[in-house]
Structure 1
Amino acid sequence: MQFQLTTDFIATIEQLIANKDGHALRELLKEYHFADVAELLEELNSDEATYLIKLLKSKITSEALMELDEDLRERILENLTPTEIAQELEELDTDDAADIIAELDDKTQKEVIDKIIDEEHAADIVELLNYDEDTAGALMAKELVQVKETWTVAGCVREMRRQAENVTRVHSIYVTNREGKLTGRLSLKDLLTASEKTKISEIFIPKVDYVTVHTDNEEVARIMQKYDLEAIPVVDENGVLVGRITIDDIVDFIKEEAEKDYQMAAGISQDVEADDSIIALTRARLPWLFLGLLGGVGAAAIMGGFEEVLNNHAILLLFTPLIAAMAGNVGVQSSAIIVQGLANDDVKGSIGNRLIKEMLLAALNGAALATVLFFFIWGWKGTIDYGLSISVSLFVVIIVAGIIGTFIPLFLHKRGIDPAIATGPFITTSNDIFGILIYLYIAKLILGI
């Protein structure tokens, strides 16, 4: 039966915590999955959540900690001693342990590492902390199963049994030479069907996809997606096998990047959540809103320069919101497609070719929309001049907006800047300004004002 967190269940847990009834809490929660425990912890205050973390077995609570919102986890960790944190980290794979310990201040980090009983585990965590963020080295886990190409099948099986005790899931068996350099992978089927005296060098598969410790996380995600990998080995500068990245780690990374890009595209400059404080949400939103304000002021200034035209031809003023909206919409559509293509590595060729394609697409769409608008204005006002001036303006504005929406993210990508910042308010604001300027200027030319 699927776990469902009800208000009655939460109330029961809170009452047991208030009564300090540890025995009843252990009995009630002993069969629950760590993800269910994490969901429960999210509904409790930090003191209640800390009580449960201290009460339950670290095998469950360590994994539950990884599922928690960062803010709640930070508050819980502040209530734990270095020894208690070390006990949680000892139950986690090195990559997850490194993620948690990275959230602590330097002094607490050192105290916690000193309290970890398994010295090899502690050393592995420290190694991961030394890699640059957003690289394969920082994302990988040290736990894996590796065998030497010089071993026999019998010796290989014995060694694999020993190594597997420290590995949560065995996705692949990696083969290395005497120096520890990655040379291939081993098929479980080949291992089981081969003679016990057969050398691993005779049955392993030399072709294996891998990344280095300095490979960017986005590149790791692209490789794993392209080749449909559940795990990928990581090597150092000398080709020595040092870790592996599993699919769950890369999915978490992709999710985080998608959330950041979505927020950036919506005009939020920091990584925030709905439950964050009003001050934090204001800091994240205000910069882009200020950009929108500047854009509006710029558009008003441009319209002020055409004040006489607008006073004498009020119909132009009526269609100003339409022109601005179409410019913003086309720009956002174009940039969104490019950003998505860049993220999926689907955008090939030169910027020039991409701009030409987008210009032709925008011209086709613009022609269709401008034709409809022309006949609408002609039928409404009974004059060709207004219909022609407004519809031609719309046609040109759509082409320009498409080019801007395509060029800016491509340009930013070439310069190593996240192209997601080009979408949303940035493109909308810039196209609003250019759209209104083009609209009023073309209208003025065609009407002979």
Structure 2
Amino acid sequence: MKEEDVEKIKELIAKKDTEQLKSILSDMHAADIADLCNELEAEDARYIYLLLDNETAADVLIEMDEDARNDFLKILPSDVIAKRFVDNMDSDDAVEIIRNMDDEKQQEVLMQIDDVDQAGDIVDLLKYDEDTAGGLMGTEMVVVNENWSMPECLREMRQQAEDMDEIYYVYVVDDDERLQGVFPLKKMITSPSVSKVKHVMKKDPISVNEDTPIDEVVQLIEKYDLVAIPVVDSIGRLVGRITVDDVMDEVRERGNRDYQLASGLSQDMETDDNVFKQTRARLPWLLIGMLGGIGNSMILGNFDDTFASHPEMALYIPLIGGTGGNVGTQSSAIVVQGLANNSLDVDNTFKQIAKESVVALVNATIISLLVYIYNFIRYGAQATVSYSVSISLFAVVMFASIFGTVVPMTLEKLKVDPAIATGPFIQITNDIIGMLLYMGITVALS
């Protein structure tokens, strides 16, 4: 929201001008009210929530920034959270806000939920790892039996739909609750009333297991252009569904995390985080970078005689280090992206290394040749720098490309997030190795 609009609302809150605030809020979307609450202090946000109906308040809460939402929930009694918010949320949204509470607060909120079935669903969902399909799914869905007739199916669908905000798909199960298919709504109109559901359903729908990693869920929804995907247990029983809006939130969060890792931030961070949190997120990689710089200075300190004989060699230290870091970061970024979108398989490690080696060979040849021509013109054919810098650049580019490819693919095989290989880690490593290669080649040619 615009700063002047936020200030105006703060003034109205200070004046307790309830009527004007209600008028403003009634014209706002839940996501916009959430943005407003993100800008307000927890007590002011609480005042805003008191003016909203329960359904809108629940929608606003789930749209809020996670840190602002957690701060807000800390000042609310458990019965208010349960009856005003959780009772008006889908199970997956309720789990999202309850999961971040401590165990005692979770129990208090769950005990205050009026609908025992809803409370039971939430308890069951909280048992799943949040990085799996089970941890992201909701239980609200329209389910019909494959043996029902069209009139019976329609009657049941109407009854189930009364308590749902959106209907994405109608899922078909057998008598044992195992997923059998998806019921196309068009068939309900065009098929004769005597037909059974199993005669018109779309069989073998795309589904995921409850312990399927979120990354795989995202890939399936993207590949098959789904707006929701059913979740089944180990014996094929339908237990829930994941909608595309839940997946998009997860994709955005993971994208932000990977970008921050590549940028040298050790944990999730927002621009409005306090100084301590921002420092804690940035400092670890800066300290590692400092150690890398000290390591470089120690390496260079062992070659005082070389610099005394060829002082011009010092001019190319930034070139060697910078080129190695850039090439390594490029290679690792391409691999991480390929692993993330499933276009690259870790089983093809050697194939990818071979491909990257060819690309590196072309790049290294062009770069080293251009630098050689420059040094030939400046220093002449007999100068050590003409050969040393070019050969070192060639070696550094080749090493950085292969290293930047191997490390993330190795981490993926070890079930470690390959995003940590990008950015500072690759750059610092290549910087140190690059200096060793540069100075070693220079000494060998002297």
- The TM tier, using the shorter chain, reads over 0.9
Q: CA deviation at 1:279?
A: 1.3
Correspondence list, 1:125-204, <5 A: 125-204=122-201
Render the CA deviation track for 1:323-359: whole Å, top value 9, x for unaligned.
Answer: 0100000000000000000001111343222212211
Q: How far apart are the structure 2 equivalents of 1:6 and 1:299? A: 48
Q: CA deviation at 1:444?
A: 1.8
Contact 2:231 2:241 in 1 (8 A): yes
Q: How far apart are the structure 1 equivalents of 2:9 and 2:392? A: 65
Residue number among 366, 376, 380 corresponding to 2:374 in the alignment: 376
Q: How far apart are the structure 1 equivalents of 2:116 and 2:135? A: 19
Q: How far apart are the structure 2 equivalents of 1:97 and 1:16? A: 31
Q: CA deviation at 1:375?
A: 0.6
Indicate the residue corresponding to 1:424 in structure 2: 423
Give aligned-pair identity as a percent.
Answer: 42
Indicate the residue corresponding to 1:57 in structure 2: 53
Residue number among 320, 325, 330 corresponding to 1:328 in the alignment: 325
> Aligned partner of 1:344: which letter?
N
DSSP 3-state at the match of 1:351 = helix
DSSP 3-state at the match of 1:242 = strand
Question: Tell me, which stretches of 5 or more residues in structure 2 are unaligned?
Answer: none
Residue number among 286, 289, 292 corresponding to 2:289 in the alignment: 292
Indicate the residue corresponding to 1:433 in structure 2: 432
Aligned: 1:43 with 2:39: yes
Aligned: 1:82 with 2:78: yes
Aligned: 1:307 with 2:304: yes
Render the CA deviation track for 1:257-306: whole Å, top value 9, x for unaligned.
Answer: 11111111111111111111211111111111111111111111111222
Q: CA deviation at 1:245?
A: 0.3
Residue number among 262, 266, 269 corresponding to 1:269 in the alignment: 266
DSSP 3-state at the match of 2:55 = helix
DSSP 3-state at the match of 1:233 = strand
Q: CA deviation at 1:8?
A: 4.2
> Aligned partner of 1:397: which letter?
V
Render the CA deviation track for 1:178-217: whole Å, top value 9, x for unaligned.
Answer: 0110011111111211112211111111120000111111
Q: CA deviation at 1:7?
A: 4.1
Q: How far apart are the structure 2 equivalents of 1:183 and 1:194? A: 19
Q: How far apart are the structure 2 equivalents of 1:370 and 1:310? A: 21
Indicate the residue corresponding to 2:225 in structure 1: 228
Question: Tell me, which stretches of 5 or more residues in structure 1 are unaligned?
Answer: none
Aligned: 1:114 with 2:115: no
Q: How far apart are the structure 1 equivalents of 2:373 and 2:381? A: 10
Q: CA deviation at 1:108?
A: 1.5
Q: CA deviation at 1:25?
A: 2.2
Residue number among 351, 366, 374 corresponding to 2:349 in the alignment: 351
Q: How far apart are the structure 2 equivalents of 1:421 and 1:238? A: 36
Correspondence list, 1:21-32, <5 A: 21-32=17-28
Root mean square deviation of aligned Cα: 1.3
Indicate the residue corresponding to 2:315 in structure 1: 318
Correspondence list, 1:199-210, <5 A: 199-210=196-207
Render the CA deviation track for 1:87-112: whole Å, top value 9, x for unaligned.
Answer: 21111111011101112221121111
Q: How far apart are the structure 1 equivalents of 2:303 and 2:155? A: 84
Q: How far apart are the structure 2 equivalents of 1:76 and 1:389? A: 62
213-222 vs 107-116, which moves further: 107-116
Q: How far apart are the structure 1 equivalents of 2:116 and 2:15? A: 38
> Aligned partner of 1:367: which letter?
T
6-15 vs 91-100, which moves further: 6-15
Residue number among 67, 72, 81 corresponding to 1:71 in the alignment: 67
DSSP 3-state at the match of 2:202 = coil
Q: How far apart are the structure 1 equivalents of 2:2 and 2:376? A: 62
Contact 2:31 2:64 in 1 (8 A): no
Q: How far apart are the structure 2 equivalents of 1:88 and 1:221? A: 28
DSSP 3-state at the match of 2:88 = coil
Residue number among 249, 255, 268 corresponding to 2:252 in the alignment: 255
Q: How far apart are the structure 1 equivalents of 2:3 and 2:422? A: 41
DSSP 3-state at the match of 1:350 = helix
> Aligned partner of 2:116: which letter?
E
Structure 1 residues 223 and 315 mapped into 2: Cα distance closer, same or farther (>3 Å)? Answer: same
TM-score, normalised on structure 1? 0.96
Q: How far apart are the structure 1 equivalents of 2:176 and 2:350? A: 48
Moved over 3 A (4+): 5-9
> Aligned partner of 1:204: which letter?
M
Q: CA deviation at 1:166?
A: 2.2
Contact 2:289 2:428 in 1 (8 A): yes
Indicate the residue corresponding to 2:412 in structure 1: 413
Q: CA deviation at 1:21?
A: 3.1
